[in-house]
A = this chain, B = another copy of it.
Amino acid sequence: MTVTQQRVAVRPEEIRRHNLSMLLRHIHRHGEATRAELTAAMGLNRSTIGALVADLVALGLVTEYVPSGGERAGRPSHVVAPRADGPYVLAVEVAVERISIAVVSLGGAVQARRVTAIEGHDRRPQAVVRRIVDDAAWLAQQLPHSAWPVGVGVSIPGTVRRRDGFVEHAPNLNWRAVPFAALLAATLPAQLDVQVGNDADLGAVAEHQRGAAVGYDHLVYLNGSVGVGGGIISEGAQLHGVGGYAGEIGHMTINPDGPACHCGSTGCIETYIGEHALLRAAGVTDRHGPAAIAAIFADADAGDARAVAAVHTVAVWLGRSLANVVNCLNPQAIVVGGSLAEVVRLDRSSVEAELDRRAMAAARSGVQVLLPGLDQDSALIGASELAFQTLLTSPDSPVVSLAAN
């Protein structure tokens, strides 16, 4: 029995639009399906599904075809598929060392992408905007004429105000108080809805929808590289908090007497499991960045004692951190991404041992530690999901459908 809040009464005229949205969401998430399968999955009758599919075909969002071959008796059920050459979103991941921009169609397929290494001045907001606009134009030329953009989703490694895509602070990009969604929207040639999210929040959505945590409706995605952030899913929906800042797991205190953190506090989880902590534990003082981190993992894999010990140290603190997440949120799964995924691969037993010791038994027994199913694309695919929300919520809205060829 749940103490839920259902505040809004349902009016009959809303049902058709609701069901149209539900059907498109189903096709987007699960891919092509026969009308018979859709009828069963949606709990609606056959004629209602037929009418809704016809609406989606007319809107240019899905196609229908009769499967060829087969000798079965009776009429074959039509197959309904998302259009690969129809609406698309631009998904952007702004990371510390690169910008990735991809064209993603309904159903979640990446149709094209461009990745650019960045450093120094390339990281400034205006330079990032320019890169996105240029790449978007280049990518659009690679697409069929029938394709049209319905939104832009951007992943940022920092705290993002949810309602307007204002970046409060992205320390590793050196951004503070950047109205990034507004900047990008104003510079794009076409009028497109721009949504901006935190990288770990978007990674959680993507791993839940299409990655390692499909079917796990209580989920935490912990993304660790230089910085450490988290995304939380509860009852299948993202937990944002009131402003969109939830999931700053890297800045939870795990030892008040611990090292100083760039956030101004001391003993943050990030100071124990972020990449700088791994470098420190391995005694590496002259290098940093992805290559230096990869070298430690390679050394640990080869049995180098110092590298093994460094990975172990981080694994123990990772286990302590995950135990706190388990006690607070009681998730079914924690997906560990970024370079922390490699720590789990190399020393899972130390992570699990701290969970055994520190997480409450009932919650501990119900949680699994998983590696990402989308490898390095979690945040990018999450950005595409964010950008698709307007279309999925209102498939027949003039805002998105008027753009159709």
Chain A residues close to B by CB (< 8 Å): 1-12, 15, 18-19, 21-22, 25, 42-44, 159, 161, 168-169, 195, 205, 217-218, 230, 232, 234-249, 251-257, 263-265, 320, 323-325, 327-332, 357-358, 360-363, 366, 385-386, 389-390, 393
Instruction: Please tell me which one of the listed residues B11, B324, B389 contacts residue A253 in the complex, with CB atoms under 8 A apart.
Output: B324
Instruction: Please tell me which one of the listed residues B239, B324, B361 contacts residue A252 in the complex, with CB atoms under 8 A apart.
Output: B324
Given contacts A1-B386, A253-B358, contact A330 B240 (CB under 8 A): yes
- Report Cα–Cα, A239/B5, bound state, in Å: 12
B2:A239 contact, CB within 8 angstroms: no
Instruction: Please tell me which one of the listed residues B169, B255, B330, B389 contacts residue A362 in the complex, with CB atoms under 8 A apart.
Output: B169
Given contacts A44-B9, A324-B253, contact A238 B2 (CB under 8 A): yes
Chain B residues closer than 8 Å to A357, beta-carbon distance: 264-265
B358:A327 contact, CB within 8 angstroms: no
- Report Cα–Cα, A361/B251, bound state, in Å: 11
Q: Give min CB distance, A38 to chain B, whole Å.
A: 11
A10-B19, A242-B330, A251-B360 provided; 9 other pairs, C-beta below 8 A?
A: A2-B389, A5-B237, A8-B43, A12-B12, A217-B242, A243-B366, A244-B330, A264-B357, A328-B328
Given contacts A9-B19, A265-B357, A366-B242, contact A327 B1 (CB under 8 A): no
A12:B15 contact, CB within 8 angstroms: yes
Chain B residues closer than 8 Å to A232, beta-carbon distance: 328
